[in-house]
Structure formats: structure tokens, C-alpha cells
């Protein structure tokens, strides 16, 4: 088959890219390793930056988000004896929304299927070919085991950290920067009404803890655990006791309830450069991973998709002035990508990476400030000094607020 953009991966990056291209009249084919049920149920991020929300709304995917999403105008930072509220609207005039990645993906999949543009689930053996030529291609086996080949103008590698796109860039042309943290997050989803109106990020000598939520009846909570910890050593009682201890605050109580899901996620910072090689463009986790403390992973994937879509759309606009006739219809045919759009495509990697590194720094900074590493009193006092500074300096709080709620796409 032939299309303009072949998209590998139906996570947030691939689905948002597909939607933005479709809305601009650009054809794409999305191929996804997993089933629809699997991608729609994969429990991950929960915080949407204001820019992500506006982008989803502007592109016709905001209806359920507006009904069910919870607008949060700030967060609480906590350490023993203190719970401080940071008011984002006062600090930077912006907000974030609580709306699970599961819901974002459901909305995007429904929108994609509604457009009639191809989305293949349960593919295998995905491979990219001829990315250094003007005729790149993606091959795969469809769910019935039939060999398929997509000829395209360019390939968007949106297939996450374990995908096939990033390894297709020759090692001699790429470099990676990585930091593995000696801890991870044990996360639970619980049938319990949130015990807070906004998210609590808590520093505690036992380790970091966080209280998030998904709805007025579902809470999402996290505990810092060592990388060597095993889920079977954490029964429900132990989890609730430790959450109550670390999140504890005078006059406040944590509501508990049945645990619906639990898992341990390791924490890593990772950036792979370049994000473009020939006709292959990487977006989202395929190119970079951040630890979740800054709530940036999903938002960064959406930002990459937006920058890449803008570049592709601009390159097509140049061509669209000369419509050509195809079987029974008149449409603009972008035989090749050229002009100003080509410049935008050339600068995609640089523009995206500038923002990626900014978010990588913010995520590392939030993580380092809030997690316990070793027993060094010097390190702990520095963390507490930074937390007190955030609660007493408007300039410091503003910096956190503008990063947390999201920097502009072209930052
Ligand atoms: P993904 O969501 O990973 O999507 C990539 C897609 O490509 C997947 O659907 C995958 O199945 C598909 N794929 C892979 N290989 C192939 C192939 N060969 N062929 C076809 N398709 C392929 N972020 C936060 O902000 N907060 C959190 O709490 C949080 N928790 C997380 C927990 C876990 C376990 C993980 C892994 C990530 C978490 N993140 C979190 C990060 C956030 O979820 C990601 O940054 C976000 O999903 C990135 O979107 P993406 O589209 O780039 O990649
Ligand atoms: C979540 O709700 O899952 C969540 C919220 C904030 C974070 C990370 C995860 O920083």
C-alpha cells in the first residue's frame, strides 16, 4: 500500500500525530504491535498539561476530557510537619488536567477509527527500510499473518522505548545520554475517594510518596521503592500503612479501599540523538524517557507529535497549491516534501530536542529533590532547603509552575 506518512506505534505520540495529519488532509497508516484492548487499558500517566488539553480540544478530541477530566490549579508539596500549596493560576495563569492516559488513548483510537484512516492492531515483525532514500517503507505481518508493505514519504517512529525505530538509526550516527535511578515507583489504583483536592508530592525520610487520582471515586498513589523490591513483598496492608506514614499530616487522614491494580516501574532518564535520520523521524518515548515525577512523559510525546505534524503539514502546504487529479477526485499530491516545510522537517529534531532536554532537566530536578537516596544528611538537608525555598520564594515557585503546567511547543 502507499501512504504519505507511515506511523509505527499507536500510543499517544502516534495517535496524536495521525489525528493532526488527518485533520490537515494528510494520509497516514498506523501499525501497532498490541491489541486495541491492551493499548486502551495500559495504566500509565495521569496529568495533562494545559497545552496538551488545548491541542486535544482544538483537534476534536476534547469532549469526554471536558466532561470527565478534573482541572487542577496547583499541587501540594509536603515534608514532615508542612504541607504547602502552590497555586499555578496565581503563579503563571495556567492549570493542568487529571485525565488518565488510558482515557486519552481510548478517545484517540475512537477518533482514528472514525476517520476511516488505517490503523492495524496486533502486527508483528515490523521493520523499516530505505530510510536514507526518498522511497522509505515499513513492512509488517498483519493480525492474520499476511505480509504487508507500506510505501511512504516519511516514517514516524512512535513505537516507544522498546520499539524498532530507534535501533534502525546506525549506531555510528547516534548517541544516547542516560541516568538510571536506584529506585522505582510502586503504583496502585484504588477504589477509594481521593483524600485531597489536588496532587500531593511528599518528601519523607522513608522515601517519596504521591497522592494522585483518576476520578472522584478512584485514587492513584505511588511509593518510592528500591530497584530490587518485588511486588509480592508488598501486600495491601503494607502499602496502605506506608502510604499513610509518608503522606501523613496533622488532622488529615488517608481514605483506603480495594486495590484494583498495582505495579512497580523503574525510573530512568534517557535521550537519544538525533531524533531524525533520513526519512525516519522519532517522537515520544522512542527517543526519550523521563522519570514520572514531573508528569512529563505523555505530554512530551504529544509535544513531539505536534512539532512533527506542523513540519509535515507545512511541507505539504507548499505543494498543495498545485492540485492534481487522481482516480475520480481532485486532490493535492505531495509527491515529495519541499520548500519551507522541508526546512521545518530539517529543524524538527533540533526544535524537539531543545524542549526534550528542558523537560529532562525538570523531571530529573523534581525527582532528585523528592526521592531519598542513601542516608547522607547533607543531601537530605539540601532537599529540604530547596523545598522551603519553593514555599517561600515566588520566583522559585513560578519556575516550578511554568515547567509543570508546560512550556510552549516551540520553546
Ligand atoms: P508508548 O505509549 O510507549 O506507545 C508506543 C506504542 O508503540 C505502544 O502502543 C507499543 O505497543 C507500540 N509498539 C512498540 N513496538 C512496536 C512495533 N515493533 N511495531 C508496532 N508497534 C509497536 N508518564 C507520566 O507522565 N506519568 C506516569 O505515571 C507514567 N507512568 C508510566 C508507567 C509505565 C510502566 C511506562 C512504561 C511509562 C509511564 N509513563 C508515565 C510515561 C508515559 O506513559 C509515556 O511517556 C507515554 O506513553 C509515551 O507515549 P508514546 O506514544 O511515545 O509511547
Ligand atoms: C498519575 O496520576 O499517574 C501521575 C501524576 C503525577 C505524576 C506522575 C503520575 O507526576
- Give per-residue pLDDT as tens, 288-332: 999 999 999 999 999 999 999 999 999 887 665 544 333 334 444
In what order do the strands lie in the sheet containing 124-129? 124-129, 137-141, 147-151
Query: How would you classify the pairing of strands 147-151 and 323-326?
Result: unpaired
Q: What is the mean pLDDT of residues 334-341?
A: 50
How far apart are alpha carbons 157 and 144 in whole angstroms? 23
Nearest CA to ligand 1 atom 34: 265
Query: Ligand 2: distance of its center to the CA of 43 in Å?
Result: 11
Name which of 19, 30, 49, 41 is nearest 106 in CA terms: 41
How far apart are alpha carbons 273 and 275 in whole angstroms? 5
Nearest CA to ligand 1 atom 52: 284
Let me know if 299 is exposed, middle or buried by CB neighbors in 10 A (0-12, 13-18, 19+).
buried
Query: Is the sign of the CA dihedral 46, 49, 53, 56 positive or negative?
Result: negative
Checking if the pLDDT of 172 tops 70, the result is yes
Whether the CB of 292 sits within 6 Å of ligand 1: yes
How far apart are alpha carbons 133 and 270 in whole angstroms? 28
C-alpha cell recorded at residue 198: 489536588
Choice from 270, 287, 298, 302 to test ligand 1 binding pocket (greatest atom count within 8 A of CB): 298
Active site residues per annotation: 72, 201, 292, 296, 404
CA distances from 350 to 159, 274, 347, 356 (A): 20, 8, 5, 10
| pLDDT tens profile 243-271 | 999 999 999 999 999 999 999 999 999 99
How far apart are alpha carbons 347 and 171 in whole angstroms? 21
| Cis peptide, bond prior to residue 274, ω within 30 of zero | yes
How far apart are alpha carbons 226 and 82 in whole angstroms? 25
Checking if the pLDDT of 92 tops 90, the result is yes
Specify the pTM: 0.94
* Confidence (pLDDT) at 142: 98
Return mean pLDDT, the chain.
94
Whether the CB of 163 sits within 6 Å of ligand 1: yes
Query: Ligand 1: distance of its center to the CA of 326 in Å?
Result: 38
Counting ligands in written order, which one lies closest to the CA of residue 359?
A: 1
How far apart are alpha carbons 139 and 197 in whole angstroms? 48
How far apart are alpha carbons 388 and 244 in whole angstroms? 23
The CA angle 62-302-185, to the nearest 5 degrees, is 105
Query: Ligand 2: distance of its center to the CA of 360 in Å?
Result: 16
Nearest CA to ligand 2 atom 4: 46
Query: Ligand 1: distance of its center to the CA of 321 in Å?
Result: 37
Query: Ligand 1: distance of its center to the CA of 373 in Å?
Result: 27
Residues having CB closer than 6 A to ligand 2 are 45-47, 199, 212, 220, 292-293, 295
Query: Ligand 1: distance of its center to the CA of 340 in Å?
Result: 32
| pLDDT tens profile 117-150 | 999 999 999 999 999 999 999 999 999 999 999 9
| pLDDT tens profile 34-70 | 999 999 999 999 999 999 999 999 999 999 999 999 9
User: Are 235 and 209 contacting, i.e. CB atoms less than 8 angstroms apart?
Assistant: no
* Confidence (pLDDT) at 339: 53
Choice from 98, 188, 215, 222 to test ligand 2 binding pocket (greatest atom count within 8 A of CB): 222
Q: What SS3 state is found at 241?
A: helix
Whether the CB of 45 sits within 6 Å of ligand 1: yes
* Confidence (pLDDT) at 328: 38
* Confidence (pLDDT) at 336: 47
Among 16-25, 150-159, 177-186, 313-322, the minimum mean pLDDT is found in 313-322
Whether the CB of 274 sits within 6 Å of ligand 1: no
Amino acid at each position: 500500500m502507499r501512504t504519505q506518512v507511515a506511523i509505527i506505534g499507536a500510543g499517544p505520540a502516534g495517535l496524536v500525530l495521525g489525528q493532526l495529519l488527518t485533520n490537515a488532509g494528510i494520509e497516514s497508516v498506523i501499525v501497532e504491535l498490541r491489541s486495541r484492548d491492551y493499548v486502551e487499558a495500559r495504566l500509565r500517566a495521569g496529568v495533562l498539561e494545559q497545552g496538551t488539553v488545548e491541542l486535544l480540544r482544538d483537534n476534536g478530541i476534547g469532549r469526554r476530557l471536558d466532561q470527565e477530566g478534573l482541572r487542577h490549579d496547583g499541587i501540594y508539596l509536603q515534608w514532615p510537619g508542612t504541607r504547602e500549596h502552590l497555586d499555578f493560576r496565581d503563579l503563571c495563569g495556567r492549570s493542568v488536567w487529571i485525565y488518565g492516559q488510558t482515557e486519552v488513548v481510548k478517545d484517540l483510537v475512537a477518533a482514528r477509527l472514525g476517520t476511516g484512516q488505517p490503523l492495524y492492531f496486533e502486527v508483528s515483525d515490523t521493520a523499516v527500510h530505505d530510510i536514507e532514500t526518498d522511497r522509505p517503507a515499513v513492512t509488517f505481518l498483519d493480525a492474520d499473518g499476511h505480509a504487508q508493505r507500506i510505501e511512504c514519504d516519511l516514517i514516524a517512529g512512535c513505537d516507544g522505548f522498546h520499539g524498532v525505530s530507534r535501533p534502525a538509526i546506525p549506531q555510528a550516527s547516534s548517541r544516547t545520554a542516560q541516568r538510571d535511578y536506584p529506585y522505582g515507583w510502586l503504583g496502585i489504583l484504588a477504589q477509594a475517594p481521593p483524600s485531597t483536592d489536588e496532587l500531593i508530592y511528599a518528601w519523607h525520610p522513608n522515601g517519596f510518596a504521591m497522592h494522585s487520582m483518576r476520578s472522584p471515586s478512584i485514587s492513584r498513589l505511588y511509593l518510592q521503592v528500591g530497584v530490587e523490591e518485588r511486588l509480592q513483598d508488598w501486600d495491601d496492608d503494607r502499602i496502605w500503612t506506608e502510604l499513610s506514614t509518608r503522606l501523613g499530616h496533622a488532622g488529615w487522614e488517608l481514605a483506603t479501599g480495594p486495590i484494583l491494580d498495582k505495579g512497580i516501574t523503574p525510573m530512568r532518564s534517557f535521550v537519544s540523538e538525533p531524533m531524525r535520520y533520513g526519512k525516519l523521524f522519532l517522537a515520544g518515548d522512542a527517543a526519550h524517557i523521563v522519570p514520572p515525577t514531573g508528569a512529563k512523559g505523555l505530554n512530551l510525546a504529544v509535544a513531539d507529535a505536534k512539532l512533527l505534524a506542523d513540519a509535515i503539514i507545512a511541507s505539504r502546504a507548499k505543494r498543495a497549491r498545485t492540485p492534481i487529479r487522481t482516480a475520480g477526485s481532485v486532490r493535492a499530491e505531495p509527491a515529495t516534501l519541499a520548500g519551507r516545510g522541508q526546512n521545518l522537517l530539517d529543524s524538527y529534531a533540533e526544535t524537539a530536542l531543545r524542549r526534550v532536554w528542558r523537560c529532562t532537566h525538570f523531571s530529573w530536578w523534581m525527582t532528585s529533590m523528592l526521592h531519598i537516596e542513601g542516608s547522607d544528611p547533607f543531601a537530605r538537608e539540601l532537599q529540604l532547603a530547596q523545598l522551603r525555598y519553593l514555599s517561600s520564594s515566588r520566583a522559585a515557585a513560578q519556575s516550578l509552575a511554568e515547567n509543570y503546567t508546560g512550556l510552549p511547543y516551540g520553546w
